[in-house]
Structure 1
């Protein structure tokens, strides 16, 4: 399996390396492994959904 570093994942996903570190530590990236002090992320891994933001549903406005 091919891996990318924390910094490479951060650049690809448009977030900070610290955010990717939180994703890895929280087990939100499947297949991420920690070797010594370095997180290795699979090249095929997708960016997890940010849990701080709610997903809104579009509602049609009712007319009277």
Structure 2
């Protein structure tokens, strides 16, 4: 299996998770998404990545 097949863009992941592309890029830049790599101006992320907890929610605040 080709390694490229297991990767997706920030836009694809944003659509999958129901968040904005900006939110995904911020999570990548902050190191919250494991395996994310930046190539030029774009982020590539493994397709099987789980969505990290959003620190703005009650669920995330309770997990601290």
CA apart distance, 1:54: 2.4
> 1:62: which partner in 2?
none
Coordinate RMSD, CA, aligned: 1.6
* Number of equivalenced pairs: 57
Unaligned runs of 5+ in 2: none
TM-score, normalising length: structure 1: 0.81
Task: Choose 1 or 2 for highest CA Rg.
Answer: 1
1:52 aligned to 23, 47, 56, which one?
56
Comparing both structures, which one devotes a greater share of its residues to helix? Answer: 2
SS at match of 1:11: helix
SS at match of 2:27: helix
Unaligned runs of 5+ in 1: 58-64
Does 1:5 pair with 2:9?
yes
Q: Which runs of 4+ in 1 moved over 3 A?
A: none
